[in-house]
A and B are shown apart, each in its own frame.
Chain A
Amino acid sequence: MPAEIVDRLRAELASEGREVTLAQDMPVVTVPPTAVRETARQLAVDHAFDLLLDVTAIDWPGRTPRFDVVYHFYSTKHLIRVRLKTRVPEAEPVVDSLRSLYGSAAFMERECHEMYGIVFRGNMDLRPILLYEGFVGHPLRKDYPKQQEQPLVPYRK
Chain B
Amino acid sequence: MDTRASAPLPNPIRPAFERGERDDSVVVSIGPSHPATHGTIQVIAALDGEKVERVDVHCGYLHRGFEKECEDHTWHNLMPYIDRLNYCSGLINDFAYCEAVEKLMSIEITPRCRYLRTLLSEYSRIADHLTCIAASLMELGAMTAFLYLVMIRDYVYEHLADLTGARLTYTYGRIGGLARDLPDGWLKRLGEILDQYEEFVGRIHGLIDRNRIFIDRTRDVGVISTAEAINWGFTGPILRSTGTPRDLRRDAPYLAYAELDFEVPVGIKGDNYDRYYVRMREMDESVYMIRQLMDMLPAGPICVDDRRCTLPPKNLVYTEIESLINHFKLIMDGPDVPPGEVYSAQEAPNGELGFYIVSTGGGSPYKLHVRSPSFVHMGGVHRLLEGYQLADIIPTFGSVNMIGGECDR
Q: For A125, what are the chain B residues with a Cβ–Cβ distance below 8 Å?
A: 16
User: Could you tell me if B376 and A76 are in contact, using CB atoms closer than 8 angstroms?
Assistant: no
Residues of A within 8 A of B14 (CB): 127, 133
A52, B376: Cα distance in complex, Å = 10
Known interface pairs A53-B233, A53-B354, A103-B380; A139-B375 also in contact (CB < 8 Å): no
Q: Give the segment of A33-41, A87-95, A105-113 that binds chain B.
A: A105-113
User: When the two chains form their complex, are residues A146 and B68 in contact, meaning their CB atoms are under 8 A apart?
Assistant: yes
CB atoms of B356 and A103 under 8 A apart: no
- Asked if B340 contacts A131 (CB within 8 A), the reply is no
Q: A10 within 8 Å of B by Cβ?
A: no
Chain B interface residue bracket vs A: 35 or more
Q: Quick one: closest A residue to B352, CB to CB?
A: A53
**Cβ B13 vs Cβ A81 within 8 A:** no
A45 CB within 8 Å of chain B? no
- In the complex, B343 has a CB within 8 A of chain A: yes
Check if A11 is an interface residue, CB within 8 A of chain B. Answer: no
In the bound complex, residues from chain A placing their C-beta under 8 Å from that of B356 are 54, 56, 70, 72
In chain B, residues 62-81, which have Cβ atoms closer than 8 Å to a Cβ of chain A?
A: 63, 65, 67-69, 72
Chain B at the A interface: mostly helix, strand, loop or mixed?
A: mixed
**Could you tell me the distance between the alpha carbons of A23 and B252 in the complex, rounded to whole angstroms?**
17
Determine how close the nearest CB of chain B comes to the CB of A99; give it in whole angstroms: 11
With A51-B233, A52-B233, A134-B10 as known contacts, state yes or no: A83 contacts B343, CB within 8 Å.
Answer: yes
Distance A98 CA – B16 CA, assembled complex (angstroms)? 20
Bound CA–CA A43/B13 (angstroms): 35
Q: In the assembled complex, how far is the CB of residue B148 from the closest CB belonging to chain A, in whole angstroms?
A: 35
Q: Indicate if the CB atoms of A103 and B60 lie closer than 8 Å.
A: no
**Is the beta-carbon distance between B371 and A103 smaller than 8 angstroms?**
no
Q: Per-residue 0/1 for B46-66: is the Cβ within 8 Å of any A Cβ (1 yes, 0 no)?
A: 000000000000111001010
Judging by beta carbons under 8 Å apart, are B63 and A131 in contact?
yes
A contact residues around B68 at 8 Å (CB): 139-140, 144, 146
Chain A residues contacting B233 (CB-CB under 8 Å) are 51-53, 102-104, 108
Contacts of A106 in B (CB 8 A): 379
Q: Which A residues between 22 and 59 are near B, CB-CB below 8 angstroms?
A: 23-24, 26, 50-54, 56, 58-59
Contact at A152–B10, with CB atoms within 8 Å? yes
A23 to B339, CA, bound (A): 12
Q: Judge if A136 is at the interface, Cβ distance under 8 Å.
A: no
Residues of A within 8 A of B342 (CB): 23-24, 26
| B4 / chain A contacts, CB cutoff of 8 Å | 156
Q: Cβ of A133 and Cβ of B358 under 8 Å apart?
A: no
Specify which chain B residues have a CB less than 8 angstroms from the CB of A26 in the assembled complex.
342-343
B63:A146 contact, CB within 8 angstroms: no
Residues of B within 8 Å of A102, CB to CB, are 231, 233
Given the known interface contacts A76-B230, A83-B343, A104-B231, the answer about A129 and B12 at a Cβ–Cβ threshold of 8 Å is no
Does B341 lie within 8 Å of A24, measured CB to CB?
yes
Main secondary structure of the interface of A (DSSP, over half): loop
Q: Residue-by-residue, is A60-72 near B (CB-CB < 8 Å gives 1, otherwise 0)?
A: 0000000000101
Assess whether B354 is in contact with A51, with CB atoms less than 8 Å apart. Answer: no
Q: Is the CB of B69 within 8 A of A146?
A: yes
Min CB gap B175→A, angstroms? 16
The 8 Å CB contact of B379, one of A58, A72, A83, A103, is A103
A107 CB, min distance to chain B CBs, angstroms: 3
A interface footprint on B229-246 (CB within 8 Å = 1, 0 otherwise): 011110100000000101
A129-B244 Cα distance, complex, nearest whole Å: 30
Q: Which residues does chain B contribute within 8 Å of A53, judged by CB atoms?
A: 233, 345, 352, 354, 371, 376
Is A140 a contact of B67 with CB atoms below 8 Å?
yes
Q: How far is the CA of A152 from the CA of B12 in the complex (A)?
A: 8
B133 close to chain A: CB less than 8 A: no
B213 contacts partner chain A, Cβ-Cβ < 8 Å = no
Question: Given A54-B369, A102-B231, are A108 and B379 neighbors across the interface (CB < 8 Å)?
Answer: yes
| Residue pair B232, A76 in contact (C-beta under 8 Å) | no
Q: Name the A residues within 8 Å of B341 (CB-CB).
A: 23-24
Nearest-CB residue, chain A, relative to B369: A56
Interface contact A104-B376, CB-CB below 8 Å: yes
30 contacts between A and B (CB under 8 A): A23-B341, A24-B342, A50-B230, A50-B231, A51-B230, A51-B235, A53-B371, A56-B356, A58-B367, A76-B230, A76-B244, A76-B246, A79-B252, A81-B345, A103-B231, A103-B232, A103-B380, A104-B232, A104-B376, A104-B379, A111-B375, A127-B13, A128-B13, A130-B60, A131-B60, A139-B68, A140-B68, A153-B9, A153-B10, A156-B4
Q: Which residues of B contact A (CB under 8 A)?
A: 4, 9-14, 16, 58-60, 63, 65, 67-69, 72, 103-104, 228, 230-233, 235, 244, 246, 251-252, 340-343, 345, 352, 354, 356, 358, 366-367, 369, 371, 375-376, 378-380, 383, 408-409
- Rank and list the top 5 A-B pairs by shortest CB-CB distance, nearest first: A107-B379, A104-B233, A132-B12, A130-B60, A54-B371
